[in-house]
Amino acid sequence: MGYGIPKGWGLPQIKHGIGVEHMEYETSASGGQLSIRLKGEFTFADNEQFQAMAKSILESSLKNVSLDFSGLDFIDSAALSMLLVMRESCAKQRKNLSLCNSAGRVKEVLDEMKFSKFIRTKN
């Protein structure tokens, strides 16, 4: 039969993570506010989606930005760091960033980390 080691070389990289529910977002604008609703799980694996989301926020002319967490099921420390980077970027453009509608374990994490000290939070 032969040993399996030589067959291991040259394997393609993992294309799709299993168990991963990548963060998705929907953008809408109304009443002078840019609203972004996040869905799924927000983790370190979502850095590309986050960068795209940040770009759309910073390129928008609207000064008030609200991140709606009602569709988020899970958030990790890497995502919290990304949100703080968003805060800094918004502050440089004098945009007002806020979070709202977190629930379940996402809300528990934000409360445990006292995240409202860093980003305005409404629920």
Partner 1 sequence: MKAYLCHDPISGALVKAALLQGTDGVPEEQLLPSQSDRACDLLFVHQQDLTPEVLSTYQFSQLVEVDQHFSINSFKSALQPRSPSLLQFNVSSPCAYQHRLAKLFLQQLEQQNNELTAIVGHDFDLPLHEAITNATIHGNLELDSGFSDLESMELFYKSVAQRLADPGFASRRVVVAASLQGRHIQFSVTDEGRGHALQTLTKNQQDTPHGRGLMLMSGHSESLKFDDGGRTSKIAFRYEE
Task: Tell me the number of residues near partner 1 by CB under 8 A.
Answer: 44
Residue 32 interacts with partner 1 (CB under 8 A): yes or no: no
* Angstrom distance (rounded) from CA 74 to CA 3: 41
Site string for partner 1, 83-102 (x = CB under 8 A): -xx--xx-------------
List of residues 6+ apart from 69 with CB closer than 8 A? 38, 75, 99, 100, 101, 102, 103, 106, 107
Beta carbon of residue 30, minimum distance to partner 1 (angstroms, whole number): 26
Which region holds residue 6: left if phi is over 0, alpha if psi is between -120 and 50, else beta? Answer: alpha
- Other residues' Cβ atoms within 10 Å of the Cβ of residue 90: 20
Beta carbon of residue 54, minimum distance to partner 1 (angstroms, whole number): 6
Residue 51 interacts with partner 1 (CB under 8 A): yes or no: yes
Q: Judged by CB, which is closer to partner 1: 30, or 105?
A: 105
Helices and strands per DSSP (H, E), number in the chain: 4, 5
Binding site for partner 1 (CB under 8 A): 1-5, 7-14, 17-21, 41, 43-45, 47-48, 51, 54, 74, 76-78, 80-82, 84-85, 88-89, 104-105, 108-109, 112-113, 118
